[in-house]
Amino acid sequence: MTKDQALNLLGLAKRANRLTSGEAFVLGAIRDQSARLVLVASDASANTKKKFTDKSSFYEIPLVDSLTTMELSHAIGAKRSLIAVCDSGFAKKLLKLLT
């Protein structure tokens, strides 16, 4: 149930225009510290996981990798395996639901 709530909240964040997706855009959001939470798909490539785990760790941004590409894509309506949440309220609630 909590995973469904998290996916619904992710869709709401997308409609509120509080998400950034795509590798270059998420990397930029991490670097300028506008990202509050990074979501990496559990089935993303090892290289992508390592790159964003390292960047998130360096900039002290929480990272969650418990959702699949299919779940993330379905939640936001576009095929993505990497998403940055740029709103602290959404990020806090998503972290609570997913960890």
pLDDT tens track for 23-56: 899 999 999 999 999 999 999 899 999 999 999 9
Question: What CA–CA distances, in Å, run from 12 to 7, 9, 16, 58, 93?
Answer: 9, 5, 6, 28, 12
Give the pLDDT confidence of 84-94 residue by residue, as tens digits.
999 999 999 99
- Which pLDDT does position 1 carry in this prediction? 57
Q: How far apart (Å, rounded) are the C-alpha atoms in residues 81 and 92?
A: 20
Tokens 């990202």 locate to 35
Task: Report the chain's mean pLDDT, rounded to a whole number.
Answer: 91
Strands (E), the chain: 19-21, 37-40, 63-64, 82-85
- Which pLDDT does position 3 carry in this prediction? 85
pLDDT tops 60 at residue 12: yes
> Which of 1, 21, 19 has the alpha carbon at shortest distance from 10?
19
